[in-house]
Amino acid sequence: MTVQTINPETISAPLGAYSQAILSTGQGRTLNISGQIGIREDGRLARGFAEQADTAWKNIVEILRVASMDVSNLIKVVTYLTDPADAVRLAEIRSKYLGNNRPASTMVVVKSLLNSDWLIEIEATAFKALD
């Protein structure tokens, strides 16, 4: 499998730590991760935006691990925020987990998530070549 980031010089550069597109080819496994919120292992909601975002990313990393993948396999991330002011803090938290990986990404600000106490939800898609 090959994974190629696509950031054409003929369009605007990405506005943050992501790629405009990811092209993956070859045989492999695709993992679709449902929206992760800031629910800790004990079932309790993390407090505040930063802790919820960090917990959501920890959950994604754990799901990837169980699927024998890691953040380098992420090809698409969609993040839903309830407050656009949290985008800067999110970039710091996201960078902690993604490092130099740049999956295709979308960020959406919504009025509310299903539970009004949820401040962020992150869904992701990962791909790994067959061994």
For the domain that residue 36 is a member of, what is the CATH number?
3.30.1330.40
The per-residue pLDDT string of the chain (131 residues; one tens digit each, 9 = 90 and over) reads 677 787 878 877 877 887 776 777 778 888 889 899 999 989 899 999 999 999 999 999 999 998 989 999 999 999 999 999 999 999 999 999 999 999 999 999 999 999 999 999 999 999 998 87
Q: What is the pLDDT of residue 1?
A: 63
Q: Write the pLDDT tens digit of every residue in 106-118.
A: 999 999 999 999 9
Measured CA to CA, the distance from residue 53 to residue 119 in angstroms comes to 8
Q: What is the pLDDT of residue 12?
A: 77
Question: What DSSP element (H or E) covers 128?
Answer: strand 120-129
Number of domains in the chain: 1
pTM for this entry: 0.84
Nearest to 109 by CA among 98, 97, 121, 117: 121
Q: What is the pLDDT of residue 88?
A: 96
- Residue range of the domain that includes 81: 2-129
- Classify burial at 86, counting beta carbons within 10 Å of its beta carbon; exposed 0-12, middle 13-18, buried 19 or more: buried
